[in-house]
Chain A
Amino acid sequence: MAIPLTYNLRSLRVRWTSTVVAVLGIAGTVGVFVAMLSLAKGFKATLVSSGSPRNAIVRRAGSTAEMESAVAVDHVKIIEDAPGVERAGSGPLVSPETVVIAAFPLKATGTDANVQVRGVSPKVLNVRDNVRIVSGRMFQPGLNELVVGRYVARTYSGFELGNSVKFGGGTWTVVGVFDAGGSAFDSEVWGDAQVVKDVYKRPANVFSSVTVRLTSPDALTGFKDALTSDPRLTVQVDREIEYYDKQSRALTQLILVLGTMVGLVMGIGAVFGALNTMYSAVAERNREIATMRALGFGAASVVSSFVFEGLCIAFVGGVLGCLAILPLNGLTTGTMNWQTFSHLAFAFRVTPALLAGGVIFALLMGIVGGVPPAVRAARARVAVALREM
């Protein structure tokens, strides 16, 4: 049997100041690491939930984002007639859209921030079934009326129902607030596409993009093939969910790379903290270790005993780090949408998988910080160590 674990647990308690330092080092690292990852996770989830697998977004071929895309009105007709487009009483469920940017004052600071204004078809709520009006009503076609995303209503001033807001050279009335389920649309303001284009003096016969409701997710292939092989069109067709996934990639990857780098740098610090704690533990307990070796405990027992001790520190640190950032879960924060430089709200997502990852990261640090001192402990010459007072 091995050296009893009580020995390590009680030794940790006896040397608690040193233990606490190592635990906090690891807790801090794990906390920051998991927080960064949950930020990336939340950002990605927000954008991806904006898309639906049953929707397709049609843009000019070669454009990387909606803002720089253009689709002519004549082409919208062709798109509406393409196979796989869902039809309702009101005709094909297609929303030709125009995206512009407008600045509005933030409630918190009074300073302006950019908001994405999306001119949509009056049919948009049937096209995007993840969006619903939660107060007020939908805008009426042809009028200077706006419905605003939940997050916009909450964070910007002037968007109370019935209020008038001025932007883009026009005066608009806020008639409704919509809930887009935490997706990117919650950070947008919607109005009738024709009116938006009018006010912004955009050519009446061009839209930014066209979002299409398909009869089923499988209908995409047929729809896409029909459009891309049509000689009259030069468009690209993406599943909406994939489009948003792509949009999220740059920032998600940036956060991931940053998070990993910060995690690594802090991790190295924390490992040195653990190494320091464990080396001094080994040095202080030289004679105890030699005594155990004299009693007949093998080198392997000593190594595993001290590795276990390092892992205890790491585990407690990992769990503490995770607990510390748990309150971040669901906390809303904002970032620039890099394509449009408009403000986008999203929430930290602390998932069980991320927490498990954080604890595993901690245990890895424990191993790296625990093994070298443990090996030193096992290699000390017993006869020599026993002579030390």
Chain B
Amino acid sequence: MVRVDGRGGGNSLVRVRGLDKKYQRGSEEIHVLQGLNLDVDAGDFVAFMGPSGSGKTTLLNLLGGLDLPSAGSITVAGDEITHMSAGKLTAWRARHVGFIFQMYNLIPVLTAFQNVELPLLLTKLSKAERSQHVETALQVVGLADRMHHFPRQLSGGQEQRVGIARAIVADPTFLLCDEPTGDLDRKSADEIMDLLGRLVREHGKTVLLVTHDPVAAERASVVLHLNKGVLEEARKVEAS
């Protein structure tokens, strides 16, 4: 169940209460998130939509522990991350978050295999175990045969699939995707969305996705709109 009214039960996987984020730009204060609430259960597939500048990336960054809110709390799998020290938060990210970026953000000098292996370097797995995990992840995204290619030798869609393999390889608690198809053509975008759908259905992953693309958003089980600093369910938006 996904709720935005702040009345979710105590056992949601992700629980956001009264989230506030203000940015200071010169003398001007931008109040991006204004008391946002959200509950997401394990296995949910949530799409966030909203106009440019509405704060989607800001929200995802806060959920992923990349930035700190001005007020409010975020609890993931029982851990409140809004009060963690920088060092703790870094370790928490490694353990719980799989990021998927619009521009893929692969390391250009590392091969697909090495890129996917990066998160595993932060675990205690042996080299052999790491190899096995990397191969499995690349198989899931259908790129086992491109293991030793460098990012520049791959198409955009393939690069994003490597990005997804990197996000899932350490089996994080949830995946955060910021416009993962924003830079892809329709066909590649559909393939990526198929893949994310499969991860949710077949592998029980929890996916939080930001997108501008209504077709992509349709794949999600719930579509939420970010409007004036809070989330609203899509149908309510249409109704009003």
Contacts and interface: CB of A to CB of B under 8 A. Distances in A.
B1 interface: no
Interface string B91-131: 10111010101010101111000100011011000000000
A296 B90 contact: yes
A201 interface: no
Range, interface on chain B: 20 to 34
Contact of A1 (B90, B108, B121): B121
A13 B97 CA distance: 32
Nearest to B67: A383
B99 A382 contact: no
Given A291-B105, A295-B99, A386 B66 contact: yes
Contacts of B26: none
Classify the interface of chain B: helix, strand, loop or mixed: helix
Nearest to A287: B105
Interface string A291-307: 11111111100000000
Interface string A363-389: 000000000000000000111001101
Nearest to A289: B107
Contacts of A389: 103
A14 B118 contact: no
Contacts of B103: 287, 389
Nearest to A10: B109
Contacts of B114: 4, 6
A7 B115 CA distance: 10
Contacts of B57: 387
A365 to B, nearest CB: 25
Interface in A1-29: 1-4, 6-7, 10-11, 13-14
Contacts of A230: none
B87 interface: yes
Contacts of A294: 64, 66, 93, 97, 99, 105
A2 B122 CA distance: 7
B119 A14 contact: no
A288 B108 CA distance: 9
B110 A6 contact: yes
A92 B29 CA distance: 100
B188 interface: no
B215 interface: no
B86 interface: yes
A287 B103 CA distance: 10
B75 interface: no
Contact of B107 (A288, A293, A382): A288
Contacts of A383: 61, 66-67
Contacts of B122: 1, 295-297
A299 to B, nearest CB: 7
B66 A296 contact: no
Interface in A260-300: 287-288, 291-299
Contacts of B97: 294, 296
Interface string B52-78: 000001000100101100000000000
Contacts of A288: 105, 107-108
B123 to A, nearest CB: 8
A295 B109 contact: no
Given A6-B114, A295-B118, A387-B57, A382 B105 contact: no
Nearest to A383: B67
A4 to B, nearest CB: 7
Contacts of B95: 296
Contacts of B61: 383, 386
A3 B94 CA distance: 13
Contacts of B87: 298-299
A11 B90 contact: no
A254 to B, nearest CB: 48
A274 B234 CA distance: 54
A293 B121 contact: no
17 contacts: A4-B110, A4-B118, A4-B121, A7-B110, A10-B109, A14-B109, A287-B105, A292-B107, A294-B93, A294-B99, A295-B118, A296-B91, A296-B119, A297-B90, A297-B94, A298-B87, A383-B61
Given A3-B121, A296-B94, 13 more contacts: A2-B121, A6-B109, A7-B109, A10-B110, A287-B105, A288-B107, A291-B105, A296-B91, A297-B94, A382-B67, A383-B61, A386-B61, A387-B57
Interface of A: 1-4, 6-7, 10-11, 13-14, 287-288, 291-299, 381-383, 386-387, 389
